[in-house]
Amino acid sequence: MREPLRVVFAGTPDFAVPCLAACFDAGTNVVAAYTQPDRPAGRGRKLTASPVKAAALAAGVIVEQPENFRSVESRARLAAYDADLMVVVAYGLILSSSVLATPRYGCWNVHASLLPRWRGAAPIQRAILAGDDASGVCLMQMEKGLDTGPVIARRATPIGRDDTGGSLHDRLSAIGADLLRETLPLLAAARAPLPTQAQPDDGVEYAHKLEKSEALIDWNASALAIERKVRAFDPWPVAEGDVAGERLRIWRASALDARANAAPGTLVGASRNGLDVATGDGVLRVAELQRAGGKRICALDYLNARPELKQAAA
């Protein structure tokens, strides 16, 4: 009977944890888990382990946290694990050609987009912002370029009108784990690189890292574009906009099939259903929001705190 595949796992955030579990489910021997060094987090800025570190330690897996692989020692330590494969999921480091060539069958990457669209750091949010009808996961054989490697397997999922960055994140994380559960046994049986399909040259888009500054709403944009921003930036960085003289974080909003004869940013309606704000094209209804220092509330609770808005918008 063959020995199970020796796998080194490399990942950091919540998105990667189901994929680590999938490696166990597929019967591989996870010999080490690489993750980013502990970082300050929370109000106390206490050093905090990544979700992958916590999951790996709970499973009894050795954890490695190098800042990078530039030193001879770090590369030698990786080579000493004698891995058949490295599975990389949102690790947070660019891997050199020498690192990619260290495992016997190279490195696989689980990427949350339908490549070549949305290569890069924030594919989930960029897909929603762009109004894409679908997203998905690609299991890719890694090469030196940024998400340019040939694809081993892919699976698509529609993006619904109610999908947020958070809901799509969770669904794609589960899909990525499913692809690993299905594909790792094929490599274990073949003990040779699996067939791949090169990415086409057409259709390349880069999903640049999200910046906090992008969260501010420009009311001159269309209601539909602003709705997408609200959905894409939930749960981070959360869209913000000036409404009725107050800066609000906007958690849930929808573009109405309506027009308003008012300047963009003007409150044109206020009811238990939401705050209606004129935009550059159409009206946006804000249903859930958050005041500075407050908690997330519905529009009705907000209006109870500011009853004058009902008359102002009438």
pTM for the structure as a whole:
0.96
113 annotated to a ligand binding site: yes
Q: Classify the C-alpha dihedral 88-92-93-94 as positive or negative.
A: positive
Alpha-carbon distances of 73 from 69, 101, 111, rounded to whole Å? 8, 16, 29
Q: Classify the C-alpha dihedral 173-179-180-182 as positive or negative.
A: positive
The beta-carbon contacts of 141-145 under 8 Å, at least 24 apart in sequence, are 141/106, 141/107, 141/108, 141/193, 141/194, 141/196, 142/88, 142/95, 142/100, 142/106, 142/107, 142/108, 142/109, 143/100, 144/96, 144/97, 144/100
Cα separation, 106 vs 193, in Å, equals 9
The pLDDT value recorded for residue 261 is 92
The pLDDT value recorded for residue 310 is 74
Sequence-distant (6+) residues with CB within 8 A of 169 are: 15, 112, 124
The pLDDT value recorded for residue 227 is 98
Strand, coil or helix: what is 240? strand
Strand, coil or helix: what is 301? helix
Identify residue 268 by its one-letter amino acid code: V
195 burial (CB, 10 Å; 0-12 / 13-18 / 19+) is exposed
Per residue in 83-109, pLDDT (tens digit) is 999 999 999 999 999 999 999 999 999
264 annotated to a ligand binding site: no
Task: Tell me 38's DSSP state.
Answer: P
How much of the chain is in helix, strand and coil states, percent to nearest 5? 30, 30, 40
Alpha-carbon distances of 26 from 23, 87, 295, rounded to whole Å? 5, 13, 42
The pLDDT value recorded for residue 44 is 78
Strand, coil or helix: what is 176? helix
Q: How many CA atoms lie within 13 A of 295 on its CB side?
A: 2
116 annotated to a ligand binding site: yes
Cα separation, 132 vs 40, in Å, equals 35
The pLDDT value recorded for residue 311 is 66
Instruction: Please state the φ and ψ torsions of residue 97, each to the nearest 5 degrees.
Output: -60, -35
303 annotated to a ligand binding site: no
Could you state, in chain order, the average pLDDT of each consecutive group of 10 residues for the chain (314 residues)?
93 98 98 95 86 98 96 97 98 95 98 98 98 98 96 98 98 98 98 97 97 97 98 98 96 95 95 96 98 96 90 60
The pLDDT value recorded for residue 287 is 98
Q: Which residues of 29-40 are buried (b: 16+ CB within 10 A; e: fewer)?
A: ebbbbbbbeeee
The pLDDT value recorded for residue 313 is 61
Question: Could you give all domains of the chain from N- to C-terminal order, each with its CATH number?
Answer: 6-207 (3.40.50.170), 212-312 (3.10.25.10)
Round to the nearest angstrom and report the end-to-end CA distance of the chain.
77
The pLDDT value recorded for residue 195 is 98
CB 151 within 8 A of CB 200: no
